[in-house]
Structure formats: C-alpha cells, structure tokens
Structure 1
Amino acid sequence: MSAEICELNGQPRAAILRLFDWDDASREAVAQWKYDGVEPKSALGSFEPLAEFADRVRWLYYPDVGSSAGLEKLKAVRRITFGDELPQPAFDLRQLPGLEVVQCEDASGLDKRHLNHPRLRYLDLEGLKAADLAFLSEARALAAMRLRRCALTGLKGSGTLNGLKELRLLGAKKLEDVSGLGEAGNLEIVEIGEAKKLRDINAIHSLGKLRYLFVEADQASQADLSWIGTMPRLECAGLWLETRQVDWTILAQHPRLYDIMLGTHAGFELPDDDTLVPLLQSHGRRVLKVTRFPKALRPSIRIEFVPPADLVDAKPLHVYQTRLLANPNVD
C-alpha cells in the first residue's frame, strides 16, 4: 500500500492523504481522492512528484522528504504543519508563494528567516528561538500569532505588523519588555501567560481596539484601572498582576466589559458583596456573579456581568481561570 487516508480529529475534522511511496497507485490517489492535506513520506525523496498535481495540494502535513526540490512548484499550498521533528535540511518556506499558515510543534530548529513571508497570515509555533519579532519585517499580512514557550524577551517589531489582530504568548517565561506593543494599534486579542520577568505592562494600556486581554505576570504592577475607560470594545480581561488602586465605577460604566479577573495588592481589602454589587449595578448593568480567590498570591476577584445584547458568542475566560485557580502558584 503506497497511499492511505488518515482522519484527524478536531474542529473541523480533516482528511490527510499519506504517501508512503510514489507509484501508479499513489499518483492516482493524489489525482482523484478527496483530502484536505498531503503527508509526503521519506520514500518520495522530494516534492517533485507532487508538482504534477500542484493545483490539488493546499496543505502539507508533516512533510518528511529529505530534499526541498520542487517545493517552489506547489503554488497552491496555503498551509504547512510540522511535527516535533523538522525535516533536514530545513525548507525555506518563502519558496511557497501562497503560504498563509505555518504550524510547528517544535520550532526550536526552525530558521526564523524562513518565516518572513509577505503572504503569511497565521503562525502557531512552539519553542521558537527569537528574542523579538523584528524578523517578521516582510510579514505585513500577518493577522494572528500563537507562540508557545518561545525565547522572546521583547516585542520589538510588532508595531510594523499593521494587520496583527491576535497575539497569544503562552509560557512567556523570558518576556521582559512589551513596550513594542504600543505601536500595534489594531490588536483585538492579547494573551500573555507565565510572564515571570515582566514588570511593566503600560504599553498595553494604549491598545484601544482590544476585545480580549489576559496577562499573567506576577511581578508586574499597574497604578489603577483608568485605562479600561479608553478601551470601549473590551469584553473580557484577566489581570493576574498587581493593581494598586481600584475605582469600581470604571467597571460599572464600561459599555461592554462583562468578565474581568482582577488582582490587587497585598493588604488590599476587597469590599463585601453587599457593598460591591450595588456599586457595580449603579449605572444600569446587572452583575451575574462575583468570585473571590483566597488562594491567589494577592487579593483577587472575578466579576461577571450580563454580556452585551449584541454579543454573538459570549465565552468567558474558562480555560485559564480553571488552570490558575486549581493551582495559583504553579511554576
């Protein structure tokens, strides 16, 4: 058997055509079978066999060939997914003229220069070795990034990514400086997790188009919440950091913010529900739930309002809240 279909679970489901060898049977499979992606195994040697059917190959899944010959001929490829072992020698992804999506489970060996692609729209990488985002100077179409356990210490270069709307940095333990975000004014989603070295998040306060904000930075501190009033689109926020002063009327008056987790500072006295809820509802909003976290590093509270009536899909911060609250001091 030189070809088979493998079903990938997930949302949505996907069919991957695995090519173990190149013969009449596998050629017929590429030409006639229905599939979403193609997984070329090492026996193919290179991408040259697929060139004949370049218009049918839109997704390269875990390519395992030893040569990148023919890669530039696959003009219809929009997506490439690598596993935890990158092919050697490395493929220059800029050879794929229509590439929009790059996913990699272990990008520690990925040449970051190969990601500087003008058509790229989405990056999902783990372990990338890059100190900042300046290497993406030509990736002007980039709309979303999810970088996990990467070596980023700063976000220089993010301001040139004018189309960037979503930035998720998970396991950002080396991140020290987010000042570069101040120029990324089109961001709608910012998520920064485990930023143990980050102390200043003021640059984020200028992102007026944010709808979702999550920052987990135990060493960071902010003066107050006045900046929330300059973010009229903000819907959900998780602020696992120190806030020195809290004006509850800012939350009561916000037109869209319906779910916020807020950390204060050691010694801060959170008002009881009998005092707090009427204050939060003093401007016509209705509070659904107030949750307090006695095991958190500092006095913390989560406030959930009735979501805005025009919200298409209300999704409060379930995943991160669940993980952090189960073990708030997790390393």
Structure 2
Amino acid sequence: MAKVNIPSFKLNNGKNIPALGYGTWLGLNDKMEFDMTDLPKLVDTLSYAIDIGYRHIDTAHLYRVEPEVGEVINKKIKEGVVKREDLFVTTKVWHHFHRESDVEVSVRASLRRMNLDYLDLVLMHWPMSITEDGVDEKIDYLETWRGFEAVLEKGLAKAIGVSNFNVDQLKRVLANCKVPPACNQIEVNLNLGLKDLVGFCQAHNIIVVAYSPFGTMVPSRSTPNSPEPKLNNPTMVAIANKHGKTVTQVTLRYLYQRGIISIPKTVTKSRVVENASIFDFVLDENDVKTIAEFDNGFRTVRPVFWQDYTNYPFEKIDAKVEIPKALLKWKNGYKLNID
C-alpha cells in the first residue's frame, strides 16, 4: 500500500495542522438536493486515506456525514492504525446555531454523532444566522464568536476559527475577541486567488484553508461560462509535464507554496494518493508567475440565495434565487435519520 508523508503548518495556538486534508462534502445534485449516493465510497476512501497517512479530516454538520466519519475514525483507532491525538478533525457550526449558547449545543451534537471527546478545530461555517425556516435572525457574529470561545474554554475543541469571512468581518472579530481565529476556511483556487484576504489572514497569523481548490478545473464543476484553466489547459499541462506531475498536483502545490492548506474531496483511491504526492517538487518563480495570471476573481461557490441576508460576505449580483430546502433542515447519516 502506498504511503504519503504530509507536512504540517503551525496554528496560532502552537498546535500543528496537516498541510493537506481529506474533504467530506458530497454536494448537491442538479435539483439542489443532497445526494448520498457516494457515501459508501466516501467511507471506504476515507478509511484508505487514513491507512496511507492522511491525518487531517474536514467535515461539517451540514454535510450529513458526521456519523460515518466518526465510525471510520473510531474503527481506525480500534485497529491501531492511529491514535486519536494523531488525527486533526475539523467540523463546522451551521447558521441555525449562532446564538452564543447554541454554539455549544451544535458542537456537542457533532461530538455525539462522531463519538468523539473533542474536536481539533471548530469553524463558524458562515457569518450569517438563518433559521430552519429561512428567517434572517440578524445575530451578530461577534455574539456567535463568544460561543466559540466558551467551547474552547470547556475543552470541546482544541482550536476555533471561521469560514467564508471577508477582511472587514475578520477585522471586527480581531478587534473584539478574547481568542483570535486560528483559521479562515475560504474558497481559493487558480481563478480565485484572493490575494488581499489571504495576505490579511497570514499577516494576522490566521491559517487559510482552501475549499474547492480545483475550482471549475474538474469536469464535474465546470460551467459554460467558467474560465481557464481546465485539466487540458496547455499552459498547465506544460508546467505539469516539466515536473512529472499532473495538473491537479501542480494546482495543490501552488496553493501550498502560498502557505495555504487544501482539502480536496475525492472518492477515488488513486486520487487520494495523487493529491498528497505534491511535497517532492517545487514550482519555480516562472511557474508561480504564470499560474498567478489565471486569477480573475471567478467564484465557483456563489450562494446568491443568501445575498440579501445580514452579514453575507461576498459581493452581490443581480439575481433572485430561493434557498434550497436541503440547506434549511436535515438529518444526518446515510439514511438521513440521525439528529
């Protein structure tokens, strides 16, 4: 069995976080419904990922997969493959739990679903607060952050952070917190470089974790108006060939050299190995300069159905879309029967 060796970055609390993680978001189908079809594959692939050396697992209440993620983790601990302290497990608190006291309710529910005693990192999934009925609660994320600080103080999490926060929102948190965020998980890829936001985070010792690191590069995420590069882009292929790597490996390496952690998702074992085989080569100055030219501000994830809600973090566009029901109320697990 192939083995991978993934280095770590240091969080602002002194703890290590692996520089590449395994993402567990399965996504919504064309009808904007949650699709559990690939969950058995996810379980099998996550188990394989831990076997070969992955130690960073990223999940969320929203993803519905916390029970299965927990089963894999506990199985690997029982088998002696890893100890709990070897793993770095992240989950996220959803819109419905933004009142200060509700943050702990959400975190304890995640721990119960995963059968864990603590989490390595808990993130505020978005800065908005929305009820299961789609009502804007307009709760200040500073109140929510106080709930995160309480969770940290109680030892339910080793570190706390945010996700999808912009620079102004981060500034407010930093100016009003007891504990600064350890992480900001955001979309970053070759089309969406977010130089200012990444730079701000890094200047304030906030680790950046990139979701959707491939953007629309992969066929499953491509849309008619999505820009280059795609997997067959001649410029990217040439750089990949020069280093004896794939285009996706070059992409992950580029982000790593920017000091960014990536959490690509896959249910294919060969890609699990491929994604982690990026630490044995270096992109040179010309490579980096060439790749940076693909940055045009294009967002793969643009939830316009939230853009009229208080604290929406992105620029607004002219569109009216209803919130998908799948993002309002759900249960967890393969059978969607676990609270």
Q: Shared fold (TM-score greater than 0.5)? A: no
Q: Which is higher, the Rg of structure 1 or of structure 2?
A: 1
Specify which structure has the bigger relative contact order, considering alpha-carbon pairs within 8 angstroms and separated by 6 or more residues: 2
Q: TM-score, with normalisation over the residues of structure 1?
A: 0.26
Q: Which has the higher helix share?
A: 2
Where is the strand percentage greater, Structure 1 or Structure 2?
Answer: 1
